[in-house]
Amino acid sequence: MAIDPATPDTTGTGAIREAGGDVPAAVGPDGRPAAGIGPYRLGLRRLRRNKVALAFGALFLVIVVLCLAAPLYADHVAHTGPNDNHVTEQVTVRGEQKDVVSPAGLPIGPTWQGRFLLGADQNGRDLAVRLLYGGRNSLQVGFVATLITMVLATIVGICAGYFRGAVDGVLARILDLIWAYPVVLLGIALGTSLALGGITIGPLELSGNSLYVPAAIIGIVYIPYVAKPIRGQVLGLREKEFVDAARVQGASSLHIMSREILPNVASTLIVFLPLMVANAILLEAALSYLGAGIQPPNPSWGTMISDGIRLIPSAIHLTFVPGAMLVLAVLGINVFGDGVRDALDPRARVRISAAREEKISDEAMEATVEH
């Protein structure tokens, strides 16, 4: 919603910790880059030193693994499925019989034991089980949407920037169109209409409650955010000598775009990747909150929060549990993405060092990374 398309690398934390430019192995004794170290190896090395980013990346990874293990938890610990109702049942908590859902309609809170670890919802469904299954759905939508965004945005951005002229004119107008269309409104308009009837595009048939409906919507909505900066970068790259060299050697446009230009925008794509996953998960939650995302009874973090908000005065845990999980997952990938950006964007290091008026041999490193 609020990413500036023109400045992909502006939300920088800065790899502050290493602002002194102390990557000794990367720089030879004469201050020149040591031979044989590629920009990505350098980036990886910088990322490895950013312990905060790694810790948050690990947090995200743990959440992903937990969600993938949802069926194991459901079968062996909770002994119930994500959509199984236990409204009329009772559960033994520390030797005491308790209603899963009280006669007044209040669901049980966290029991801190195998069954109903985090409590139940108003339908007597195990919240922890739903949390993990919901996470699978939220993450799946996030990843699929990001894949759609990245692939289409790369194609559109490279074509627009490489061919310029009429191709650029048409593509840029389409991007402007998506760009000017209010994101959330476009999402709920598409989501509501597709949720009702599904859609058939050629051999592809999506039913209304398919996960791929919100994923496709979110994927399309975010295309301009990535395509615009890629296009700008390609406009500059196509004038570089190595493109001319390929052209006089008789390389086709397709070859130049895929073999010469694509590797040079790859680092921008890598920087956008975690950012887009985070945004896609957030937009899915927003759409589900408005009823235009993942359709019940399928759980997702967004639908669980929106169900919980209706009962917030009597059962805060219904909002708090999925909310905390969502924020932790998104925060994890955001901080990690920030670290990736710093590691791959040597300018961030130059900026900080300049601000601190320290002389470092970063220019040399910048030269290697920019090919």
d(CA 59, CA 47): 16
Task: Please give the backbone phi and psi of residue 126, each rounded to the nearest 5 degrees, phi first.
Answer: -70, 120
Token output for 243: 């493109």
110-143 as b/e, with b when 16 or more CB fall inside 10 Å? ebeeebbbbbbbbbbbbbbbbbbbbbbbbbbbbb
Q: Is 55 in the site for other proteins (CB under 8 A)?
A: no
User: With 0-12 CB in 10 A as exposed, 13-18 as middle and 19+ as buried, what is 275?
Assistant: buried
Q: Is 227 in the site for other proteins (CB under 8 A)?
A: no
* Angle (nearest 5°) at CA 35 between 33 and 36: 120
| Three-class secondary structure of residue 200 per DSSP | strand
d(CA 130, CA 211): 16
Between 94 and 173, name the residue whose CB sits nearer to other proteins.
Answer: 173
**Binding segment (CB under 8 A) for other proteins, from list 11-19, 58-66, 136-144, 154-162:** 11-19
Q: Is 12 in the site for other proteins (CB under 8 A)?
A: yes
Single-letter amino acid code for the residue at 167: V
Among the listed residues 277, 326, 340, 343, the single contact to other proteins using CB under 8 A: 326
In sequence order, what are the residues at sequence separation of 6 or more whose Cβ sits closer than 8 angstroms to the Cβ of residue 255? 246
Q: Is 320 in the site for other proteins (CB under 8 A)?
A: yes
**Binding segment (CB under 8 A) for other proteins, from list 124-132, 147-155, 220-228, 278-286:** 278-286
Q: Is 106 in the site for other proteins (CB under 8 A)?
A: no
Instruction: Enumerate residues 332-361 that contact other proteins by CB under 8 A.
Output: 334-335, 338, 348, 350-352, 354-356
Instruction: Enumerate residues 161-190 that contact other proteins by CB under 8 A.
Output: 173, 176-177, 179-186, 188-190
Place of tokens 């699929």: 144
Q: Is 236 in the site for other proteins (CB under 8 A)?
A: no
**Binding segment (CB under 8 A) for other proteins, from list 6-14, 41-49, 105-113, 124-132:** 6-14
Q: Alpha helices, DSSP H only, in the chain?
A: 39-49, 51-68, 70-73, 127-163, 165-180, 183-197, 212-221, 223-237, 241-248, 253-255, 262-289, 301-310, 317-344, 346-355, 362-369
Among the listed residues 69, 327, 363, 371, the single contact to other proteins using CB under 8 A: 327
Q: Is 330 in the site for other proteins (CB under 8 A)?
A: yes
To other proteins, the closest distance from the beta carbon of 246 in angstroms equals 26
Among the listed residues 31, 198, 236, 296, the single contact to other proteins using CB under 8 A: 198
Q: Is 196 in the site for other proteins (CB under 8 A)?
A: yes
Q: Is 267 in the site for other proteins (CB under 8 A)?
A: no
Among the listed residues 13, 85, 140, 207, the single contact to other proteins using CB under 8 A: 13
User: DSSP per residue over 143-180, as a string?
Assistant: HHHHHHHHHHHHHHHHHHHHH-HHHHHHHHHHHHHHHH
The 111-130 site mask, x for binding other proteins (CB under 8 A), equals: --------------------
To other proteins, the closest distance from the beta carbon of 355 in angstroms equals 5
Between 11 and 113, name the residue whose CB sits nearer to other proteins.
Answer: 11
| C-beta separation of 101 from 93 below 8 A | no
Token output for 347: 């300018």
In sequence order, what are the residues at sequence separation of 6 or more whose Cβ sits closer than 8 angstroms to the Cβ of residue 200? 206
The residue ranges that bind other proteins (CB under 8 A) are 1-4, 6-7, 9-14, 16-17, 19, 173, 176-177, 179-186, 188-190, 192-193, 196-198, 278, 282, 285-286, 289-292, 302, 305-306, 309, 312-313, 316, 319-320, 323, 326-327, 330-331, 334-335, 338, 348, 350-352, 354-356
